[in-house]
Structure 1
Amino acid sequence: MPHSENSPRTVLVTGGNRGIGYAIAEEFVALGHRVAVTARSGEGPAGSLTVRADVTDASSIDAAFSEIEQKLGPVEVVVANAGITRDTLLMRMSEDDFDSVVNTNLGGSFRVVKRASKGMLKARFGRIVLISSVVGLYGGPGQVNYASSKAGLVGMARSITRELGARGITANVIAPGFIETDMTAELPEATQAEYKKGIPAGRFATPAEVAKVVAWIAGDDAGYISGAVIPVDGGLGMGH
């Protein structure tokens, strides 16, 4: 186990089977933490425990937590990362396109955090990290549903901070910009170049760059930061 300044914690990353979630789980494993991931399919990285869960179903989340508590101990750090997109222009967006995205991204985070808070209150320690997006506050055409769900996480983290801040529990939001994942790799070269022109850093982030910020905000050194929105977007959002 590599030396880390942080005490080993029991960490849960939802949607940890691919993309940013996988990278976040990998980083916590590398730092010597006990790591579980939830996934509807697929597996988390080597060294993590994968449990099946659907974030739209409270009883499936409860079962997943019970399994993690039994095998790894009470969850001390929860990273709500599971999310979906159903991008389409407002005029074409169905009620289901809107409801399903909000129910998974915002409702899913609520269900996971609510279940995690039980153990955190008992322990008088907790790190709640909500994975949002630069789009949450910056906006994106065709993303009324997604941006609404991601902006909602800011109000959630700030309300949790006001409720639980005196109990050793922090709640923060990480807002990644464009990341090198399977999704961005599929974009045409010209589209990628166009996006990069709008990013002051001139490039997309690696998933590891997001993961390291998540690990830091969840660590012992960040205990006095709560209700913050931390962009990892190469300057794209400038605080929006």
Structure 2
Amino acid sequence: MSPWTLIDTARIPGNDGELQLYQRDAEFSISVSGGGVLMSTWAHGSEDALAELACRKIARRPRPRVLIGGLGMGFTLAAALRHLGADSEVEVAELVPAVVAWNRGALGEHAGHPLRDARATVREGDVARILKTERQAYDAILLDVDNGPEGFTRKKNDWLYTTDGLTASYKALRPEGVLAIWSAGPDRDFTALLQKVGFKMRQRRVHEHDNKGSLHTIWLAERGP
């Protein structure tokens, strides 16, 4: 088996760390300096589930609008597009410009080049800025940012999972909208915080790939009418 080769790096805004793109034959992975592998092209079942669980709830609405926080390797975006109709609109907020470039290049083949879909739009920047300004704009918000509430790539990501951040997501959703959040693991305090903000929620545990591997957590939090 061929060794992994570092093919590119990218600084994480607001952080001293960097993202590292590795390739081995046809496979890719993205790591954070000093923190291990964040994502890979061979294990994305929970990212697929994040989009499927949320988009199934809003797919029949007229002209559904979705915001995805974090492009990653494009699997969440690709799954969202698969479960939405031709009249949908999906915005992706990605903080690191290089991640967008990687997805437009050879990396994009693994997810089926979702950025080429006319329904998809990339907004380079912090998803928090969008959430702070939008009001009743989205039918679903999907947050696949950092490692979930216990993130480690960028301290500023913590705001998304605070009372203020979750309240901003609540306000950015349309009535009966869905906030779906990916996390590497469960968090009892975070579940209680979602309920405190006003969401009706349920939690799912999903394997990272084909019903095997690590179990990840997905929260599905619904805004009221």
Normalised TM-score (structure 1): 0.44
Pick the structure with more helix per residue: 1
Normalising by structure 2, report the TM-score.
0.46
